[in-house]
Chain A
Amino acid sequence: MNPANFYALVGIGLFCIGLFGMIINSHLLRKILAFNIMGSGVFLVLVALGRRAENLPADPVPHAMVITGIVVAVSATALALTLMIKVATQTGQATLPDEDDK
């Protein structure tokens, strides 16, 4: 297996771990962290697939897209964290209300 495929598989693993964390945890901070891990997995897959053939130079287009994606992910995370703090200060807990609680 060439290194690019290995990194891509690691990226898929990260994505699934993040998805797992997002479903399992109810605390919003953990959800946001899990979401970021999912995002990192996607970025890793994209970067790795940009250089699948070992005798060719890396494809710059997916790499440039990943840089764009990282910055957007950071700003979206900042917004999510701010919303979380707002939820926490308004309701006293950093989780979303469950349907069963009603």
Chain B
Amino acid sequence: MNRNRLLLIVLLPLLLTLAAGLGYAVLSLPEQPQYLQQLVMDNMADSGVSHPVTAVLLNFRAYDTLLEMVVLLLALLAVWSLDMADPQHKTAPSLVLDTLTRLLTPVLILVTAYLLWVGAHAPGGAFQAGSVLAASAVLLSLAGWRLSDKLTALPLRIVLVAGPGVFIILSALSMVLEGQLLKYPVAQAGLFIVILETFATLSIGATLAALFLGVRPGKINKNKDRKHK
């Protein structure tokens, strides 16, 4: 206790100083710079979408988004490589959870599609849609639903890499067409972005749900088989 109190006495002034310093830094910032913003606004017509954030994410700075998809995949690989035990629930889900999941899953999938589509001209897009999709998958898994064994081996992995994969294919295509990485042809930019976002949504949803479950699918069944033999 004594040590903790001493820690508090030293720590609080230090943190308050840090907060004051950061606050001063924020308040004394110069006027909002307009260079990047102006650059985005000037090129909106060529971006293929009408919402500036989506244009930045999937066109002007698509390289960041591509790397981000890879980071997601990398995190999943790291989680799978930790070889977690499966926390399988043997009890049946309660009536409330069961009914709610049945009602909500179609709605959540609809919301996913809406968010994906609306991203072109309003707040929304692949990441928001992907996280809603992941939420529905998490809800399903909490209610005791699991992907069938046939789907967990190769099909799940294909879905997981579809986002980054299609991204890389399209960026290679853009190099062939326009001679520069991720520089979409202006006329087809909208189509490029819709394709990218669709696959990215599926991948992000699957990756986040798999991150939540934490268990490498297929592993448990293999162990079961071994026991039987």
**Cα distance, A53 to B30, chains bound together (Å):** 11
B56 and A12 form a contact (CB under 8 A)? no
A60 and B52 form a contact (CB under 8 A)? yes
A78 and B11 form a contact (CB under 8 A)? no
Asked if A79 is at the interface of the complex by the 8 Å CB criterion, the answer is: yes
**Cα distance, A71 to B129, chains bound together (Å):** 12
Asked if A82 is at the interface of the complex by the 8 Å CB criterion, the answer is: yes
Which residue in B18, B57, B208 is a CB contact (below 8 Å) of A64? B57
B61 and A9 form a contact (CB under 8 A)? no
**Cα distance, A65 to B84, chains bound together (Å):** 32
| CB-defined contacts of A65 to chain B, threshold 8 Å | 64
With both beta carbons as reference points, the residue of chain A lying nearest to B52 in the complex is identified as A60
A59 and B37 form a contact (CB under 8 A)? yes
**Cα distance, A63 to B54, chains bound together (Å):** 10
Asked if A72 is at the interface of the complex by the 8 Å CB criterion, the answer is: yes
A60 and B53 form a contact (CB under 8 A)? yes
Q: How many residues belonging to A are interface residues under a CB distance threshold of 8 Å? A: 40
Q: Which of B7, B79, B82, B84 has its CB near the most chain A CB atoms (within 10 A)?
A: B79
| CB-defined contacts of A67 to chain B, threshold 8 Å | 53, 57, 125, 127-128
Q: What's the count of A-B pairs with C-beta under 8 Å?
A: 119
| CB-defined contacts of B84 to chain A, threshold 8 Å | 82, 85-86
Given contacts A5-B26, A72-B71, contact A61 B40 (CB under 8 A): yes
> Secondary structure of the A side of the interface?
helix
Asked if B211 is at the interface of the complex by the 8 Å CB criterion, the answer is: yes
| CB-defined contacts of A45 to chain B, threshold 8 Å | 26
With both beta carbons as reference points, the residue of chain B lying nearest to A67 in the complex is identified as B127
Q: How many residues belonging to B are interface residues under a CB distance threshold of 8 Å? A: 49
Which residue in B12, B29, B68 is a CB contact (below 8 Å) of A49? B29
Instruction: Give, as a whole number of angstroms, the nearest-CB distance from A68 to chain B.
Output: 5
| CB-defined contacts of B128 to chain A, threshold 8 Å | 67
Asked if A16 is at the interface of the complex by the 8 Å CB criterion, the answer is: yes
With both beta carbons as reference points, the residue of chain B lying nearest to A54 in the complex is identified as B32
* A-B CB contact pairs (8 Å), 26 listed: A8-B26, A9-B27, A12-B23, A16-B22, A20-B15, A51-B32, A56-B32, A57-B37, A59-B36, A60-B40, A60-B52, A61-B37, A61-B40, A63-B53, A63-B56, A67-B57, A70-B127, A71-B204, A72-B68, A74-B208, A75-B208, A76-B75, A78-B208, A79-B211, A82-B82, A85-B84
Write the residues of chain B forming the contact surface with A, with a CB cutoff of 8 angstroms: 4, 7-8, 11-12, 15-16, 18-19, 22-23, 26-27, 29, 31-32, 34, 36-37, 40-41, 52-53, 55-57, 61, 64-65, 68, 71-72, 75-76, 78-79, 82, 84-85, 125, 127-128, 131, 204, 207-208, 211-212, 214
